[in-house]
Amino acid sequence: MLIYKKCPYCKSTKLSIFTVKNNISLSKCKNCQLVFMNPMFDKLELKKIYKKYFTSMNEIGQISYGYKDYEQSRSKNNMKKYYFDWFKKYAVIGGVVLDIGCGTGTFLECLKHESYKVYGLEVSNQAWKYLEEKKIPYFKVSTSKANLKKYDNIVLIDTLEHLNSPFKDLSKIYKSLKSGGFLFIETINIDPISKYPSLIDKWTGISPVHLFYWGEDVLINILTKIGFQIISIKKSPKITLKFFSVIINNLKKILFLLSIRKIFNKRINLNNNISFSRLFDISKNLQTIRIIAKKN
Ligand SMILES: [Zn+2]
């Protein structure tokens, strides 16, 4: 384990405990607001953790991580549905794309069919055979020549939170982009949890493979310091978080009022468990931020 006494970004020693959940402890830097796993798994430990990441769900403490079937959950249809509009609005059309943390390459497969020139970058040797089957050229991080090339579009979908040296990596990414090129990031958004800590119990974002937990201000600060221009920021979902926080904080009262209502009016067959578990499902997902940044 790596123990950070200083913030890995701004080097401030003013760290506080953000949360401890299922043996995973997160620190928050009081200076730059960065949230990160501390102590953090080192490279050797991560290698073990990622061994079966794409084909079987594993557990550390009480947290499950990885995918039962990555190919299924990241199907072409899903990738198109979630990312095409966002990507295509700004992407250099038909340009060279590098997908960092491309997994089994489904997103690149979709782009390849639309005449983009695609490259993947993936650490997991479990994913490499899929990339070979799909005939997607890829870089293995250990022997990476990825940053010798120049790209029009670089994509980090659900990747930034996994990187153990994200600050260096973002600078390398900047250098690897052509001028006028775009960086597309989708990652964890910790801001709602910072704002409404009562959401943390149900939140599924804490995982042994998530090393950094990003927020809007921190990301903008880091990217602009590197030289990027921020083009677009989207947070998901758009519903107000305060609404959820109020409900979760007052759950007992609400359930009590609903049960009284049930007694007085039996025709209202309201299944509390179902409605509230649905609500929690939504609150679990209050966690992503999408940023598009440009190299001028
Ligand atoms: Zn800091």
Asked whether the predicted pLDDT for residue 183 surpasses 70, the reply is yes
Measure 185 CA to ligand 1 centroid, in angstroms.
21
The distance of Cα 286 from the centroid of its chain, to the nearest Å, equals 12
Q: Are 144 and 168 contacting, i.e. CB atoms less than 8 angstroms apart?
A: no
Q: If pLDDT is split at 50, 70 and 90, which confidence band does 96 have? A: very high
Q: Given the structure tokens 């550390």, which residue do they identify?
A: 60
- In tens, the pLDDT along 1-43 reads 999 999 999 999 999 999 998 889 999 999 999 999 999 999 9
- Cβ 139 vs Cβ 146: under 8 Å: yes
- The Cα-based distances of 108 to 115, 148, 157, 215, 220 in angstroms read 11, 20, 12, 27, 26
Distance from the alpha carbon of residue 29 to the mean position of ligand 1, in angstroms: 5
CA 70/CA 54 separation, integer angstroms: 5
Distance of CA 166 from the midpoint of ligand 1 (Å): 13
Q: What distance in Å separates the CA atoms of residue 256 and residue 212, rounded to the nearest whole number? A: 39
pLDDT tens digits, residue range 191-216? 988 988 888 887 888 899 999 999 99
CA dist., res. 125 & res. 147, Å (int): 20
Which residues does 143 contact at the CB level (< 8 Å), separation at least 6?
none
Query: Rounded CA gap, 78 and 203, in Å?
Result: 22
The pLDDT tens digits for 242-289 are 566 666 677 777 777 777 766 655 544 444 444 444 444 545 555 899
138, β-bridge pairs: 120
Distance 288 CA to ligand 1 centre (A): 21
Distance 205 CA to ligand 1 centre (A): 21
Show me where the domains of the chain are located: 42-238+280-294
CATH label, 42-238+280-294, candidates 3.40.50.150, 3.30.1330.90, 3.40.50.970, 3.40.50.2000: 3.40.50.150
